[in-house]
Amino acid sequence: VAAVQIASPAIAQSAPEIKWRLASSFPKSLDTIYGAAETVANRVAAATDGKFQIRVFAAGEIVPGFQVLDAVQNATVEIGHSASYYFVGKDPTFAFDTAVPFGLNARQQNAWMYYGGGLELMREFFKDYSIYQIPCGNTGAQMGGWFRKEIKTVEDLNGLKFRVGGFAGKVLAKLGVVPQQIPGGDIYPALEKGTIDAAEWVGPYDDEKLGFNKVAQFYYYPGWWEGGPQLSVYVNQAQWDSLPKTYQAILEAACGEANGLMLAKYDAQNMPALRRLVQGGTKLKPFSKEVMEAAYKAAFEVYDETASSNPKFKKVYDAWKPFREEQYLWFRVAENSFDNFVYAKSAQKS
Amino acid sequence: VAAVQIASPAIAQSAPEIKWRLASSFPKSLDTIYGAAETVANRVAAATDGKFQIRVFAAGEIVPGFQVLDAVQNATVEIGHSASYYFVGKDPTFAFDTAVPFGLNARQQNAWMYYGGGLELMREFFKDYSIYQIPCGNTGAQMGGWFRKEIKTVEDLNGLKFRVGGFAGKVLAKLGVVPQQIPGGDIYPALEKGTIDAAEWVGPYDDEKLGFNKVAQFYYYPGWWEGGPQLSVYVNQAQWDSLPKTYQAILEAACGEANGLMLAKYDAQNMPALRRLVQGGTKLKPFSKEVMEAAYKAAFEVYDETASSNPKFKKVYDAWKPFREEQYLWFRVAENSFDNFVYAKSAQKS
């Protein structure tokens, strides 16, 4: 009996019952980007026999989509799921945790985060917000969004009220755009009412669900401001520190798994959605070379300006920029030559 | 006291102490591909407070690299980590679990596995081997390998004794190659002694470790026979069934996490290795259009021939082929146009 009495408290301590509330920045209708948090919650519950439960709340249920960072920092909720570039108004350095224009694609973002020093830099940055950050999801290269009129030249962007996520707003402002930050669930009514002229969200699968094709005809690509945007889980640092090591390991593994699963889900589901959209009258258009070149120039001007006035941004940018160049060099060898060959062969047939 | 007596056995049952031996097909020197199994083992141990322990053994320690499937099927070990295309001699259907020539890149493989029906098809196939399969790692598009002489035309392939993994051997045989299956750790001596004329393994980071640059000068790309080869964990079905549900969930999450981590590690480390190789005299060469076109034609001939005689292969191929076309169509829109633009801009500067 003595042995049992000693063993029981030890077991209770190592596998306590914990219930957390997760605030997502995304609407429940999006099974991809909102669904990643549920993927994590389900895995964590299964791995702990239901002892560690994370209940996922959509944007607006506990806090609005753009207040998820504050809610975790203030311990209104224990955990959140968001795109860090929503918070560039607090500090543009947040953008590196998601995507910056003409930056890394999804694989390159993972390479930077996990083995290129990115995670260490971002976790150091997030300490100022009392948050432990874990990469959790990626959309892949996004579409450039929905426009009511054609965008052929840089002049066509002048005065355009465009809903666009993250740091891209600063780049587009240089080209005359009036950028608008609007959470995913609120974009459609703004576009419908004409409060905005154009809007981007993610890609065909999500955009079809949000109904943008009903109120705008031209669908541009690529979303050059987010070639591989990462989503992140935020854990309040005190809550993280209070977790048993086993639960920490399970939560990190579940986020690592969900990081790949979200991307795979988008990749599997985007093409059928795009086909439906085009069949329904959507006009698919590439951004013109003029627009792309002007945006590229503007982007690196913004980076240099920001780095010159923000030491935190500069620290990350100075590490990120050469890593990006190395990634591009490598991907141009085997990966891009494989992709370009098979896509060209496939296009010959179709 | 009564409550404690009831609770203790229940807890003991739900978190038993389990020790498994994992047979890897790879040599310990490769921290990427061998290391993925250690990543899984470490995560599983951390998530179970050391109660579920997986000890990783390199190729040759318990069984040779190419006997990992048999060893798991026969319960010599509980679990293995391998590339399923090593076992195309048993059944060419295994190739879809890793890569087939001119097939899917790493992201497309994940899309197929997790959300395109691939995992269901492969798990059904693996049932005949009493194995529960879990995707666990990807190398990304590989290099085309190391050759002692230049390969300019299809005639240059005639009679070439080439170490090449998986189903590619059947395609290359159509072009005159004499394909050789040799485990990773045994390639260098074969190439050094001249038993083989050429060899491919993975990419710069691994290939440099294995020393191929010391015995062959020409380094070709891309490895068109493996645009996104997946590694897999094999669990003996009876052992899988005997695991507590919590341990099953933890093992699957750890493999899902390691699936992305291996790819990120290769992506982060290949370019510095490639630079060292080229600085050391390695001559980097793209396969000629003639070779690529002939290989493409031969590949689809092999698929059609194999499907006509093997119903298991046909079942998977008939599902895989249209999924591949859909993926290519989608990737050509946002992803490939983003990649090609930023790579071209980067190349302008360098």
How many CA atoms lie less than 13 Å away from A246 in the CB half-sphere?
25
Q: Is the pLDDT of residue B234 over 80?
A: yes
Residues B248, B261: Cα–Cα separation, whole Å = 20
Q: Please judge whether B249 and A111 are an interchain contact, meaning their C-beta atoms are less than 8 angstroms apart.
A: no
Query: For residue B208, what are its two tokens?
Result: 């440099």
In what order do the strands lie in the sheet containing A79-82?
A: A52-57, A18-24, A79-82, A230-236, A131-138
Q: Using one digit for the tens of pLDDT, what is the confidence trace for B63-109? A: 999 999 999 999 999 999 999 999 999 999 999 999 999 999 999 99
CB atoms within 10 A of CB A9: 9
Q: Closest residue of A to B349, CA-based? A: A325
- Cis amide leading into A222 (omega within 30): yes
Q: What is the mean pLDDT of residues B214-225?
A: 97
- State yes or no: pLDDT of A2 exceeds 50: no
Please state the rounded mean pLDDT for residues A273-293. Answer: 97
Which residues does chain B have within 8 Å of residue A43's beta carbon, measured at their own beta carbons? 249, 253
User: Across residues A39-46, what is the average pLDDT?
Assistant: 98
Whether A223 sits inside 8 A of B292 (CB atoms) is no
Quote the CA–CA distance of A265 and A256 in Å, as a whole number.
Answer: 15
Residue to test with chain A: of B220, B271, B275, B323, most A Cβ within 10 A: B271
What does the pLDDT read at residue B12?
45
Minimum CA–CA partner of B338 in chain A: A222
Average pLDDT on B154-177 reads 94
Which of A43, A106, A330 minimises the CB distance to B253? A43
Q: List chain B residues with CB under 8 Å of A48.
A: 246
Determine what percent of chain B is predicted with pLDDT higher than 70: 96
Do B230 and B113 form a contact (C-beta atoms < 8 A)? yes
Q: What crossing angle do the helices spanning B311-349 and B106-115 adopt, rounded to 10°?
A: 140
B190 to chain A, minimum CA–CA distance in Å? 25
> Please, which pLDDT band fits residue B43 given cuts at 50, 70 and 90?
very high
DSSP lists the bridge partners of residue B179 as B162
* Residue B138 to residue B259: CA distance in whole angstroms: 6
Q: Looking at the predicted structure, is the pLDDT value of residue B204 above 60? A: yes
Cβ atoms of B74 and B87 closer than 8 Å: no
Look up the pTM and report it.
0.95
Residues sharing a CB contact under 8 Å with residue B332, sequence separation 6 or more, in sequence order: A343, A346, A347
Mean pLDDT of A281-291: 97
Determine contact, residues B236/B75, Cβ cutoff 8 Å: yes
Instruction: Supply the pLDDT for residue A3.
Output: 43
Q: What is the DSSP-derived secondary structure letter of residue A206?
A: H
Interface test with B, best of A341, A349, A350 (most B CBs within 10 A): A341
SS3 A217: coil
Contact A56, A27 (CB under 8 A): no
Residue B349: its pLDDT value, please? Answer: 73
Judge: A8–B7 Cβ closer than 8 Å, yes or no: yes
Q: Supply the pLDDT for residue A90.
A: 97
Give which of B79, B120, B75 is closest to B97, Cα–Cα: B120
A47, A116, A347 ranked by CB distance to B253: nearest: A47
Q: What are the pLDDT digits (tens) for A107-138?
A: 999 999 999 999 999 999 999 999 999 999 99
Contact flag A329-B342 (C-beta cutoff 8 Å): no
- Please name the amino acid found at residue B267: D
Average pLDDT, integer, range B185-197: 94
HEC-encoded secondary structure of A240-262: HHHCCHHHHHHHHHHHHHHHHHH
CB contact under 8 A, B267 and A333: no
Q: How far, in Å, CA of A166 to CA of A179, rounded?
A: 10
- Beta-sheet pairing, A145-147 with A218-221: antiparallel
b/e map of A270-295 (b: 16 or more CB within 10 Å)?
A: bbebbeebeeeebeebebbeebbebb
Residue A50 backbone zone (phi > 0: left; psi -120 to 50: alpha; other: beta): left
**Residue A323 confidence (pLDDT):** 98
The CA distance from B66 to the nearest CA of chain A, in Å, is 26
In the chain, the amino acid numbered B214 is K
- Output the pLDDT for position A11: 46
How close A345 comes to chain B (CA, Å)?
9
Question: Of the candidates B11, B43, B345, which has its C-beta nearest A296's C-beta?
Answer: B345
Q: Measured between CA atoms, how close is A276 to chain B, in angstroms?
A: 13
Q: Minimal Cα distance from B205: which residue of A?
A: A330
Residue B1 has pLDDT above 80, yes or no: no
In this predicted structure, the answer to whether residue B8 has a pLDDT above a threshold of 80 is no
Give CA separation, A55 vs A27, A109, A241, B24, B339, in Å: 15, 28, 20, 38, 37
Mutation choice for B interface testing from A245, A271, A274, A326 by most B CBs within 10 A: A271
The average pLDDT across B256-272 equals 98
Predicted pLDDT of residue A165: 78
Q: What is the crossing angle of helices A311-349 and A289-309, to 10°?
A: 160
What's the maximum distance between 2 C-alpha atoms anywhere in chain B? 82
Of B46, B227, B327, the CB nearest to A267: B327
Question: What does the alpha-carbon distance between residue B127 and residue B232 come to, in Å, rounded to a whole number?
Answer: 14
pLDDT value of position A42? 98
The pLDDT confidence band at residue A184, using thresholds 50, 70 and 90, is confident
User: Does the pLDDT of residue B247 top 70, yes or no?
Assistant: yes
Instruction: Give me the residue from A111, A144, A268 closest to B115, CB to CB.
Output: A268
Please indicate whether, in this complex, the C-beta atoms of A5 and B8 are within 8 angstroms of each other.
Answer: no
Determine phi and psi for A7, rounding to 5 degrees: -70, -40
Angstrom distance (rounded) from CA A56 to CA A211:
24
With a pLDDT cut of 90, the percent of chain B lying above it is 93
Tens-place pLDDT, residues B175-189: 999 999 998 889 999
The per-residue pLDDT for range A197-235, each reduced to its tens digit, is: 999 999 999 999 999 999 999 999 999 999 999 999 999
Give the pLDDT confidence score for residue A350 in this predicted structure.
58
Nearest CA in chain A to B256: A257
Average pLDDT of the residues in B316-332: 98
Q: Determine how β-strand A283-286 pairs with β-strand A145-147.
A: unpaired
**B338 closest CB neighbour out of A227, A257, A268:** A227
Average pLDDT, chain B: 95
**Omega within 30 of 0 (cis) for the link into B222:** yes
Q: Report whether pLDDT(A342) > 60.
A: yes
- Indicate yes or no: CB of A328 within 8 angstroms of CB of B343: yes
The secondary structure of chain B, three-state, reads: CHHHHHHHHHHHHHCCCEEEEEEECCCCCCCCCCHHHHHHHHHHHHHCCCCEEEEEECCCCCCCHHHHHHHHHCCCCCEEEECHHHHCCCCHHHHHHCCCCCCCCHHHHHHHHHHCCHHHHHHHHHHHHCEEEEEEEECCCCCCEEECCCCCCHHHHCCCEEECCCCHHHHHHHCCCEEECCCHHHHHHHHHHCCCCEECCCCHHHHHHHCHHHCCCEEEECCCCCCCCEEEEEEEHHHHHHCCHHHHHHHHHHHHHHHHHHHHHHHHHHHHHHHHHHHCCCEEEECCHHHHHHHHHHHHHHHHHHHHHCHHHHHHHHHHHHHHHHHHHHHHHHHHHHHHHHHHHHHHHC
Percent of chain A with pLDDT over 90: 93
Inspect the interface and report whether the beta carbons of B271 and A330 lie closer than 8 Å: yes
Facing B108 at nearest CB: one of A105, A267, A274: A267
Judged against a pLDDT cut of 80, whether residue A1 lies above it is answered with no
Residue B13 confidence class, pLDDT cut points 50, 70, 90: low
pLDDT bracket for residue B166 (50, 70, 90)? confident
pLDDT of residue B350: 58
CB neighbour burial string for A67-77, b if at least 16 within 10 angstroms, e if fewer: bbbbbbbeebb
Does residue A166 have a pLDDT over 90? no
Of the candidates B84, B122, B117, B100, the one whose C-alpha atom is nearest the C-alpha of residue B326 is B117
Residue B11 has a pLDDT of 46
Dump pLDDT digits (tens) for A135-163. 999 999 999 999 999 999 999 999 999 99
CA distance B104 to chain A (A): 9
Of residues B113, B264, B327, nearest to A111 (C-beta):
B264
A–B interface: beta-carbon pairs under 8 A: 247
Stretch A24-51: mean pLDDT? 97
Listed range (A210-224, B162-176, B237-251) with the worst mean pLDDT: B162-176
Residue A113: list chain B partners with CB under 8 A.
264
DSSP assignment letter at A316: H
